[in-house]
Chains A and B, each alone.
Chain A
Amino acid sequence: MIGVTAFGAYVPRYRISRMTIIQNMAWYFPVIMAVAGGEKSVANWDEDAVSMAVAAAYDCMADKDRKALDGVFFASTTMPFADRLNAGIIAAALNAPEEGIANADFSACLKAGTTAAISALEAVASGERSSVLVAASDLRKSKMATMAEMFIGDGAAALLFGKDDVIAEFKGSFSLNADFVDHYKGVGKDFDYLWEERWVRDEGYGKIIPQAIAGYLKKTGTQLADFDKVIYPCYFTGTHRGIAKQLGIDPSRLQDNLHGVCGDTGTAHPLLMFSTVLEQAKPGDKILLAGFGQGCDVLGFEVTEKIRDFRPARGAAGSLAAKVDLPNYQKYTKFRDLIAADLGIRGEANPNTSLTALWRKRKMILGFTGSKCTACGTPQFPSLPMCVNPDCNAAGAFEDYEFADKPGKIQMFTGDMLSPSVDPPAVYGLVEFDGGGKAFLDFTDCDLNQVKVGMPVSMSFRRRMKDQARGFTGYFWKAVPRVQG
């Protein structure tokens, strides 16, 4: 049996109410009032598609062996690098093995998430791979006062595929290709270019998804009535429901498009919706999953008894519940770099990143790996050639020690108004890890007035710098204080 062996999701903490957007921008384009309901997820300023994918991957693999991975597939239309394997950054952040693993990026289409899933399943089915992670993530920029701004949310989802402890058995797939350009984004462009909505709804979603589902049913000899849940993305909520009606799917069997709670998360969206279904699924449930974009992928799954033994660390429901309202529209536009606010001369410094140092220290920087002294047992970060314990100081007697998944507590902190930051004050401090070791870290996803000495923190992989002049993105880990609200 092959199929899903684990699943996880990540929806960033901030939500902006669509009413907030309307209050700020409806004067410019009143049509946006047509989709006034609900809220959409907004990635923090230090997140991108890669960092959110890492968060979803850790959510998925909390109880799984990351060293056993032999494939990491990343799907996104908003990858930070056009030429540097983005999946490789994610694999490094997961401390996945470097040998005997095939990683790949799936891009340039919103159904890249489901396409990556099909490829992963085929790799596992072929016997060539045994544990392949698919992470899909998108952080799409949209112009102010557009329908895209109303519809698009940020988020990520991850699925682990394998042969052992399968929780949702793969039953087959069908793909349809159609160079139907409902929108496109040329190379080097920040924003999508969208064609008329009516055409996209009626001729795009409304025809291509039903056509692909029909193809799947015919290929597998199944009936739509066999399925307990049907999942396909469509950010036009009316069209989303209309397709179900047209196909005779009972509304109770149609998975919500999440427009109200986070918006459409692009390549991640079918997998994010799938995660919300799996979180509620019972053994025996049959699930149809479709991805849309220049065609359509359809995959069938049947949930097994093993679903009872698996929970993601936080899951889509946990991520969706752990939300904070972002009432400040200007802050949202600054987070997305839609407005030019001054960082000051102090913020101009822009040294390049030493790629030799990054290669040497890749485990430390991307994998947040320190060391544990084999002579005295002291965990430490950063890893230097001699043990930090003054009673030991042994040289060269270390094993790797990962801090990314270790909880910690705040020893001391500040909120710095002088540091150039997109979201001042820059909050940072010293963290003591449960089990030993410390690190001096930026904090994120918190407000200064919520932070206290002794507060528990967890680690989050974040974008540390974006070198606009050279196009490089640097990552490291930050501490997320466990604040209430």
Chain B
Amino acid sequence: MASGIKDKVAIIGMGCTRFGERWNDGPEELMVEAFQECIQDAGIEKKEIQAAWLGTCFDEVMVGKSALSASMALRLPNISVSRVENFCASGTEAFRGAVYAVASGACDIALAIGVEKLKDIGYGGLPEFSTAIGTTNALWFPNLTAPGGFAMLATGYAAKYGLDIMDVKEAMTHVSVKSHANGARNAKAHLRKPVTPDQVKNAPTIAFPLGLFDCCGVSDGSACAIVTTPEIARSLGKNDVISVKALQLALSNGTEIAHKWDGAHFVTTTKASKAAYEEAGIRNPREEISMMEVHDCFSITELVTMEDLHISERGKAPKDIMDGFYDLDGKLPCQPDGGLKCFGHPIGASGLRMLYEMYNQLLGRAGDRQIDDPKFGLTHNLGGFPMMNVCSIAIIGKHGA
């Protein structure tokens, strides 16, 4: 019987660049910037890293294939480096590779780094992906984009619960207003201006019913983590050891797009979160999770995710959101760092960026966004589209908690 990952691996260092339109920095500069912060935080030497994982999504427009980009940019000492890609879960996949390597005993210290350089393509939004969906899908997939794919979820959600789409939009609006308020407190965030509900509601439509402020920032950035065993962490003088409590991944198998699905929830998140709570020994996530960084690529994604994480009851996320339950001063703060919405979304880095915020909060380093005495921090990524996607969930906390 598998015992799970809980408390087997500790994070001893993390780094994250400022996210944004980093016109004058390429992926190499971004990786080095994140790495230097990370290794300084870890207090180790580069030669002690025995294996590394690189997470990127749009490799064709950025670093190219393989993990050579990371190995060369960081001048790693000819160790194993693997590039992993799983849509928006790519960063968390890199983390999973490093964590599992340590947990298996294959190595003592491992690095996970994620990076995405999105602002080299000449237009807004994510890079066009018609060549990246597979040869057969390229023959029939609709003319979709990321916002359009997720926008559909709002119509499905409203229909399922008999709501007016504009009432759903009201809650979606609060999701974005809250994240902008949090992002304004974060020097590393891409978007740092608070916005009003009217600004959000009156913004130009990107994909009905999503307006500009329902969509996250498209940014350049990098984030990384160095992991080891809790024993080695202590031997390095780490008093507050932050350890991994759960790491789960779930992928669609075609049921949503081709069989039965209500069009109002994420099948993968519903399953992965349950598995993650079991792995972490959490019985009541609404009470026990202290804070979250979830995949708010679009406001509707965050709204629906609150239910799939078993924190808001089905159909009740809009009420919790409007009640301020997920605000920074609410019962369960969500996106304290501004989220994808305002921190930005360099895809391969995002999972690690979320962990960076949870890690800093757990260590009391979050400045004027600091949450009082957090115990468990949850991160969540959702890559692909509501009807076929990759979901990753990580939970970290103080060792032994």
Residue of B nearest to A358 (CB): B139
Contacts A425-B208, A437-B258, A440-B142 hold; do A349 and B156 have CB atoms under 8 A apart?
Answer: no
User: A388, B254: Cβ atoms under 8 Å?
Assistant: yes
A375 CB, nearest partner CB in chain B, Å: 14
Residue of A414, A415, A417 with most partner-chain B CB within 10 A: A414
A181 contacts B by Cβ under 8 Å: no
With contacts A381-B258, A428-B148, A430-B257 taken as known, whether A412 is within 8 angstroms of B156 at the C-beta atoms is yes
Report A220 CB to chain B, min CB distance, Å.
50
Nearest-neighbour CB distance to chain B for A182, whole angstroms, equals: 40
CA distance A441 to B142 in the complex (A): 5
Tell whether A390 pairs with B148 under 8 Å between CB atoms, given A346-B123, A378-B259, A426-B143. Answer: no
The one of B123, B140, B158 in contact with A464, judged by C-beta atoms closer than 8 angstroms, is B140
The answer to whether B139 touches A476, judged by C-beta atoms less than 8 angstroms apart, is yes
Nearest B residue (CB) for A443 = B142
A411 part of interface (Cβ distance < 8 Å): yes
Query: Which residue of chain B has the shortest Cβ distance to A393 in the bound complex?
Result: B253
- B69 lies within 8 A of chain A by Cβ: no
Q: How far is the CA of A414 from the CA of B144 in the complex (A)?
A: 10
Q: Smallest CB-CB separation from B149: which chain A residue?
A: A414
**A384 and B254: CB pair below 8 A?**
yes
Given contacts A364-B140, A365-B139, contact A413 B159 (CB under 8 A): no
Q: Are B145 and A419 in contact (CB under 8 A)?
A: yes
Q: Give A425 to B204 CA distance when docked, in angstroms.
A: 13
Q: How large is the interface on B (under 10, 10 to 19, 20 to 34, 35 or more residues)?
A: 35 or more
A390-B255, A430-B263 are known contacts. Are A353 and B153 too (CB-CB below 8 A)?
A: no
Q: Is A344 an interface residue (CB 8 A)?
A: yes
Question: Is A474 located at the chain interface by the 8 A CB criterion?
Answer: yes
In the bound complex, do residue B257 and residue A417 qualify as a contact, i.e. CB atoms below 8 Å apart? no
Q: Would A380 and B145 be within 8 Å (CB), given that A411-B156, A414-B155, A430-B263 are in contact? A: no
Q: Which residues of A contact B208 (CB under 8 A)?
A: 414-416, 425, 448
CB pair A357 B155 closer than 8 Å: no
- Which one, A361, A425, A437, contacts B139 given CB within 8 A? A361
Bound state CA distance, A419 and B139, in angstroms?
17
Is B140's CB under 8 angstroms from A365's CB?
Answer: yes
Tell me, in angstroms, the Cα distance from A426 to B205 when the chains sit together: 13
CA distance A388 to B267 in the complex (A): 15
Within 8 A of B (CB), among A18-67: none
Whether B147 is near chain A, meaning CB under 8 Å from some CB there, is yes
Q: Which residues of B33-47 have CB atoms within 8 Å of chain A's CB atoms?
A: none
Output the nearest chain A residue to B207 by Cβ-Cβ distance: A416
Considering the complex, which residues of chain A in the window 332-372 have a beta carbon less than 8 Å from any beta carbon of chain B?
344-346, 349, 351, 353-354, 357-358, 361, 364-365
Q: Cβ of B113 < 8 Å from any Cβ of A? A: no
Q: Verify B159–A454 contact, CB threshold 8 A.
A: yes
A428 touches B263 (CB 8 A): no
- With A and B bound together, what is the CA distance between A421 and B257 in angstroms? 23
B400 at the interface (CB under 8 A from A): no
Query: Once bound together, how far apart are the Cα atoms of A453 and B262, in whole Å?
Result: 12
Interface string of A388-422 (1 = CB under 8 A from B): 11100000000000000000000111111111110
Of chain A, the residue at the smallest CB distance from B388 is A440
Contacts A349-B130, A428-B143: A354 and B135 contacting too (C-beta < 8 A)? yes
Measured between beta carbons, the chain B residues less than 8 angstroms from A438 are: 257-259
Interface residues of B: mostly helix, strand, loop or mixed? loop
Q: Residue-by-residue, is B123-158 near A (CB-CB < 8 Å gives 1, otherwise 0)?
A: 101001011000110111111110111011101101
B121 within 8 A of partner (CB):
yes
| Chain A, 418-456, CB within 8 A of any chain B CB | 418-421, 425-426, 428-430, 437-442, 448, 453-454
- Asked whether A382 is an interface residue with its Cβ less than 8 Å from the other chain, the reply is yes
With contacts A357-B136, A380-B259, A384-B254 taken as known, whether A418 is within 8 angstroms of B131 at the C-beta atoms is no
Interface centre among A365, A418, A448 (most CB of B within 10 A): A418
- A contact residues around B121 at 8 Å (CB): 345
Size of chain A's interface in residues, with CB distance under 8 A? Answer: 48
A345:B152 contact, CB within 8 angstroms: no
Evaluate contact between A419 and B153: CB separation under 8 angstroms: no
Which residues of A lie under 8 Å from residue B149 when comparing CB positions?
414
| Contact of A357 with B123 in the complex, beta carbons under 8 Å | no
Decide if B128 touches A349 in the complex (CB within 8 Å): yes
**In the complex, what distance in Å separates the CA atom of A430 from the CA atom of B386?**
11
List the B side residues contacting A419 at CB < 8 Å. 143-145, 148
Inter-chain contacts of A345 with B (CB < 8 A): 121-123
B387 at the interface (CB under 8 A from A): yes
Partner of B258, one of A365, A388, A417, A442: A388
Judge if B166 is at the interface, Cβ distance under 8 Å. no
Contacts of A414 in B (CB 8 A): 148-149, 151-152, 155, 207-210
Q: Complex formed: what's the CA distance from A441 to B148 in Å?
A: 12
Judged by a CB distance under 8 angstroms, whether B236 is at the interface is: no
Closest beta carbon of chain A to B167's beta carbon, Å: 15
- Evaluate whether A411 and B263 lie within 8 angstroms (CB atoms) in the complex, with A349-B131, A364-B140, A417-B205 already known: yes
The answer to whether B253 touches A390, judged by C-beta atoms less than 8 angstroms apart, is: yes
User: A349 CA to B128 CA in the complex, in Å?
Assistant: 7
CA distance A351 to B125 in the complex (A): 20
When the two chains form their complex, are residues A476 and B140 in contact, meaning their CB atoms are under 8 A apart? yes
Query: Nearest Cβ distance between residue B325 and chain A, in whole angstroms?
Result: 26
A444 to chain B, nearest CB (A): 11
Q: Is B187 an interface residue (CB 8 A)?
A: no
A437 to chain B: which residues have CB within 8 Å? 258
Asked if A418 contacts B206 (CB within 8 A), the reply is yes
Whole-angstrom CA separation of A415 from B143 in the bound complex: 11
Residues of chain B contacted by A365 (CB below 8 angstroms): 139-140
- A353's nearest neighbour on chain B, judged by CB, is B139
Find out whether the CB atom of A412 lies under 8 angstroms from the CB atom of B159: yes
Q: Which of B138, B152, B155 contacts A351 (CB 8 A)?
A: B138
Separation of A357 and B255 alpha carbons in the complex (Å)? 24
Q: Are A357 and B139 in contact (CB under 8 A)?
A: yes
Instruction: Output the least CB separation between B304 and chain A (Å).
Output: 12
B142 touches A428 (CB 8 A): yes
Interface pair A430/B207, CB less than 8 Å apart:
no
From A412, which residue of chain B is reached at the shortest CB distance? B156
14 cross-chain CB contacts under 8 A: A345-B123, A346-B128, A378-B259, A388-B254, A412-B156, A414-B151, A414-B208, A420-B128, A425-B208, A428-B144, A428-B148, A430-B156, A430-B263, A438-B258
Known pairs A382-B258, A428-B148 / 9 extra A-B pairs, C-beta < 8 Å: A351-B131, A353-B138, A354-B138, A357-B135, A361-B136, A414-B151, A417-B205, A419-B148, A420-B128
Query: Hey, which bits of chain B sit against chain A, CB under 8 A?
Result: 121-123, 125, 128, 130-131, 135-136, 138-145, 147-149, 151-153, 155-156, 158-159, 204-210, 253-255, 257-259, 263, 387
Top 5 closest A-B pairs, CB basis? A416-B148, A412-B156, A414-B151, A428-B142, A453-B159
